[in-house]
Amino acid sequence: MKTFYASALILISMISHAQTKPADTVIIKVGERSKIIVAIQDKKDLETMKQYDFQKLMNDLIAKLEEKDTTNQHKPAGEYLKEEPVEKEVPLLEENNEEDFEEENWTSHKKENRHRRRTYHSINFDLGTNNYLSDGTFPDQDNSLYTVKPWGSWYVGINSTQRTRVSNNFFLEWALGVSWYNFKFQNEQTLITKDDNSVLFTLDQREADFKKSKLTATYLNASLVPMIDFGGNRRKPSFFDGDNADSFRIGAGPYVGYRIDSYSKQKFEVNGDEQKPRDHDNFYLNNLRYGIRMQMGFDDVDFFFNYDLNELFIENKGPKLNAFSFGITF
C-alpha cells in the first residue's frame, strides 16, 4: 500500500495530463517492501526535474504517509522548484567620485584640525647690538675702560617660539632659546681679569699691536610676551617660511636667562704673529639675568628691545651696569 501511495503522489506532481505514449519508469527500492516509482512520459520533463527540490518533495511525502493521508492533492508545478539566489546589484562608485569623496574628507579634516589648533611653532633669530647703562648713563661719558663700541658689540639669539591664540587679536608668545652678549670694548688694550674681591678692567701693558678686546656671556633664556596682532595672524611671521603677515603687532613681557658660559677674548700681534687668547671665567657675572622684552613688528620682521632689570655683575663685585640689547627678529 505504501508503494502505491508514493508512486501516485509523484506521478500526480509530475504529470498534469494522461498520455497514451508508454512512460520511462524508474523504480527505487526503499527498505524491504517499499518502492518509489518515477515515470517520465516526456523526456523534455527531465530538464524540469533538474530544477526540482526533491528534498522538499520527499519531506512532504513522508509527512503525508506518517499521517496516513491518502487524499490525492495536486500542487502547483512551481511548488517544488528550487529558489534561485537573488543577486543584489551594488552600484559602483565611479573613480572620479571616489577621489572627490576622499579629497573632500581630507580637506574637511584639515579644516577641522586648523580650526581646533590654537598654538603654532616657529624658529626665530634675534640679531642686534648690545650695551649697558651705569646709573642711567653710558659709561663712555666717564671714559671708562669697560666702555663698549656700539658697532661690533653684537647680540645674537636663537629662539624656539610658540604662539598661542587667546582671543581674536590677542596672543601669547612663549619661547625658549639661547643668546650671546658680546661687549666689544672701545679701548682695544682693555684687559679684563679678577681677584678675590672684584672684576678688574686695566690696560694691558704688553708690547703688542692690540686689535680687539671683548667680553662674551652666553645664556639660556625663557620668555613670555603677550602680543596684540591687529591682523589676527595665527602664526608668528618668519622671513624664512615666506609667511608674510601684512599687519601691525606690538607686545611686551618678561624674560629670564641663566648663564652657561662666559669668556674674555683679545686679538693682538706680537712681531707680526697674531694671537687670540681666551680666558673662560665667570668674572663675577650674575648667573641669572631677568628683564622686560618689547616687540613691535610689521610683515615678517619684528623689532625687539631687551632691558635687564638686574645688574650684569654681582653686587659689589663689579661696576653697576644694566645690560640692554635691541635689533630685529626674523
The per-residue DSSP string of 206-264 comes to SSSEEEEEEEEEEEEEEEEEEEEETT--SSPP-TTTT----SEEEEEEEEEEEEEEEEE
- CATH value at residue 149: 2.40.160
Q: Do 214 and 296 lie in a common domain?
A: yes
Q: Which residues contact 257 (CB under 8 A, 6 or more apart)?
A: 179, 219, 220, 221, 222, 288, 289, 290
Q: 170, 226 in Cβ contact below 8 A? A: yes
Give residue 61's domain range.
Answer: 2-80
Question: In this predicted structure, what is the pLDDT of residue 217?
Answer: 98
Q: Are residues 132 and 264 in the same domain?
A: yes
Q: Pick the residue with more confidence: 74 or 165? A: 165
94 found inside a domain: no
> In terms of domains, do 8 and 156 share one?
no
pLDDT value of position 52? 72
* pLDDT band, residue 16 (cuts 50/70/90): very low
The answer as to whether 108 is a domain residue is no
Residue at which a domain ends, from 51, 80, 109: 80
Q: In one letter, which amino acid is 329?
A: T
Is the model more confident about 117 or about 8?
Answer: 117
pLDDT at 86 over 60: no
Same domain, residue pair 165 and 47: no
Which set of grid coordinates corresponds to residue 73?
492533492
Residues 37 and 165 in one domain: no
Is position 110 within any domain?
no
Which of these ranges, 54-58, 94-98, 101-105, has the smallest mean pLDDT? 94-98
Same-domain pairing of 127 and 273? yes
Residues 56 and 163 in one domain: no
Tens digit of pLDDT for each residue in 103-145?
A: 555 555 555 454 457 899 999 999 999 999 999 999 988 889 9
In a domain, 170, yes or no: yes
Q: With residue 96 as reference, give the H or E element that holds it.
A: helix 95-116
pLDDT tens readout for residues 270-320: 999 999 999 999 999 999 999 999 999 988 789 999 999 999 999 999 999
Q: Looking at the structure, do residues 65 and 128 belong to the same domain, yes or no? A: no
For residue 17, pLDDT beyond 50 = no
Residue 306 lies in a domain: yes
Q: Indicate if 131 and 8 belong to the same structural domain.
A: no
Report which of residues 89 and 314 the model is more confident about: 314
Please check whether residues 211 and 314 belong to one and the same domain. yes
**Mean pLDDT of all residues in 39-66:** 73
Average pLDDT score over the chain: 82
Among the candidates 30, 53, 80, a domain finishes at 80
Q: 44-58, 161-175, 191-205, 294-308: which has the minimum mean pLDDT?
A: 44-58
DSSP-based three-state secondary structure for 121: strand
Q: For the segment 252-283, what is each residue's pLDDT rounded down to a tens digit?
A: 999 999 999 999 999 999 999 999 999 999 99
Number of domains comprising the chain: 2
Residues 212 and 306 in one domain: yes
The pLDDT value given to residue 5 = 46
In a domain, 103, yes or no: no
Mean pLDDT value of segment 242-248:
67
Q: Are strands 199-203 and 190-194 parallel, antiparallel or unpaired?
A: antiparallel
Domain boundary among 53, 80, 107: 80
Do 163 and 238 lie in one domain? The reply is: yes
The pTM of the full predicted model, rounded to 2 decimals, is: 0.64
Q: Residue 15 above 50 pLDDT?
A: no
Residue 91 lies in a domain: no
In a domain, 246, yes or no: yes
